[in-house]
Every structure is written in structure tokens, then in C-alpha cells.
Amino acid sequence: MIFKPYDVTYSPFRSFTRQEWSMLEDHPEFPIAGIDLTQLQALNEPLTMEEVEDIYIPLIRLLQIHITHYRNLHHQREEFFKNPSQTIPYIIGIAGSVAVGKSTTARVLQKLLSMLPEKPKVELITTDGFLYPNTELEKRGILNKKGFPESYDAKNLLAFLAGVKSGRETLEAPVYSHLYYDIIPDEVQRIEKPDILIVEGINVLQVSLNKKPRRRVFVSDFFDFSIYVDAAEKDIRQWYLDRFKTLQKTAFTNPESYFHQYASYKEEDLMRFANEVWEEINLSNLEQNILPTRFRADLILEKGEHHFVRGVRIRKI
């Protein structure tokens, strides 16, 4: 999963070490000292001000360049067609394995993008909300494949993204609960005219969310910029196991938790179970469905063993 040394002369990506990336010019000015990092980091995903300054501030500047050109192209096209219309949201997709840190990346980008001088409205959704409910997954015999392409309501997800790009003023997305491990009935996330929409999910860069060959429109077709969060499999596995340990002491203790039965497990038994889940479900999904989409991204954040980005790859244009 980590990029191996090879002749990059003809690679479609430009590579930067952490230091090279952090030294890029024209960083936007943000009052980042006032940001509460605890509100942005997900469980067991460390986040420091140094990480924000070295990695995310240059990334925001790059996104600012892309968004500006996107807006300019939109206005010029509308002038050409003599048909003024509303500005269409800019969509950023974020992909990567379970436990790799997508949620933290998404939240940091949402916060920093909202702080740009023009103060854009930035919304964030996760594709978890477009998983089929557990009852439907059980009916199809794929509850143990939650997170695999076939476990998503691709039709509904694509319809939602098409609505965003068609300029609909108000859209609703289903809400998923990690506590209940299921879609929450009758609860929705309302999205109203965002300037920027971030879509985070493990499978968002796939060229298909199901096995039907007739489908020719994919989630990634709606993205204006895409990011893949990458790390070595051994590191992601360890982060997953560490998170499982933390959850046993926190969320699993709630009697309403889907995983409450594991709150009383001895650590040895808990880790045996977590490793089985990783091997049979998450690793399988990573190798078969997620990792192969890495090079479809516009930008790849390569993490080291301590969860911090050690290198960046950006697609050439």
C-alpha cells in the first residue's frame, strides 16, 4: 500500500515529502490558533497544530486554486450560453480504508475551507448514510459485508449527488448511527445550497457500487476533486485494533450499543474477535475494492505509522 521506490519520471503524479509540501508558498492566512482540534479529530486519530500547518494549509491553498478556476469556468460558460444560472456546489470526495483517518481529514477540510476569505458554506456527508438498513442487508444475506460495494443503496446515493450537481436547493441524506450500527429511521441530514460539499466514504472512488454492468454513472463522476488517504496495511490494522480497544471502554459500554456484548470481553478475546473482523471483512474489502481505486484520486495523502502524513502525491494536469 505504501509507494515503493521507482522511476517517477513518467508518473502521472508529482511527489512531495512532508517537508517539501509544508514549504509551498502562498499559504492562506487563517487564525488557526483559535481552532479547537478536539472538535475535528475522530476517535484515536491524533491531530496537532503542526499537522494542520504543514499538511492542511497547503492543501487548502491548492483547493482554493481549483475552486477559483471552477467558479471562473462556470461564469464564462454561462456568459457564452447567455443563460445565467446559480452556482453549482464544488464536490470534494475523500476515500480510504476503515480506520485510516478519513473522518479527521474531512472535518479539518470542512473547517478550514469555511474560513476562506469569501466564507463559503461547506457541508459534509458520509456515505455511511447510504448503506442499506440492516434488515435489508440481512434479507440479501450480506450483513457481514457491510461497507462492501453491494451493501450501498447506489441508486439513492447517485440520485443525491445528481441533485447536488443539478442545483437543487434542498436535499436530504439518510443518517447512519455507529452506536446502533444501522440507519436511523425517519432521520435525515438536510443539505441546503452549499458552496462546497465534502463526501467521505471508503468506496467513493470506485467505478461501480454494484456488479451490474449496465450502470454507467459512478459516484466519482460527480467529484470535482478527490483525495485518497493512504497508509501501510499493518498500520491501518493496528489503528483499527486500537480503536476497538477504545470503543470497548466507551461506546460499547452503552447498553443500546449494537456491540454492547463485547464490553465485557477480556482483552485477549476482544483482540481475537477484532482481528477476525479485520481479516474477514475490512482487509478483504480494502484489497478487493478500496485500494485499487487509490490511483484514481487527484491527491494522495500518505500516512506514516503514527497517523501523521509523511508524503503527498498530486496528479499532474
Which residues have C-beta within 8 Å of that of residue 3, sequence separation ≥ 6?
A: 15, 302, 311, 313
Report d(CA 313, CA 6) in Å as an integer.
14
Structural domain for 111, as ranges: 13-315
Say what the pTM is. Answer: 0.93
Q: Which residues of 76-90 are buried (b: 16+ CB within 10 A; e: fewer)?
A: eeeeeeeeeeeeebb
Q: How many domains does the chain have?
A: 1
> Is there a domain that residue 3 lies in?
no
Report d(CA 20, CA 114) in Å as an integer.
26
Q: What is the model's pLDDT at position 206? A: 84
> Is there a domain that residue 2 lies in?
no
pLDDT tens per residue, range 188-207: 999 999 999 999 999 899 87
Statement: residue 2 has pLDDT above 70: no
Report d(CA 291, CA 250) in Å as an integer.
30
Tell me which amino acid residue 89 is: P
> Is there a domain that residue 291 lies in?
yes
> Is there a domain that residue 255 lies in?
yes
What CATH code is carried by the domain that includes residue 39? 3.40.50.300
Report d(CA 65, CA 94) in Å as an integer.
18
Please answer whether residues 171 and 163 qualify as being in contact, where contact means their C-beta atoms are separated by less than 8 angstroms: yes
Which residues have C-beta within 8 Å of that of residue 192, sequence separation ≥ 6?
A: 169, 170, 171
What mean pLDDT do residues 4-15 have?
A: 70
Statement: residue 8 has pLDDT above 70: no
What mean pLDDT do residues 235-256 have?
A: 95
Statement: residue 304 has pLDDT above 60: yes
Report d(CA 231, CA 131) in Å as an integer.
25
Q: What is the model's pLDDT at position 317? A: 86
> Is there a domain that residue 290 lies in?
yes
> Is there a domain that residue 162 lies in?
yes
> Is there a domain that residue 4 lies in?
no
> Is there a domain that residue 8 lies in?
no
pLDDT tens per residue, range 41-51: 888 888 999 99
What mean pLDDT do residues 221-234 have?
A: 97
What mean pLDDT do residues 67-84 have?
A: 89
Question: How does the average pLDDT of the chain come out, rounded?
Answer: 91
Statement: residue 132 has pLDDT above 80: yes
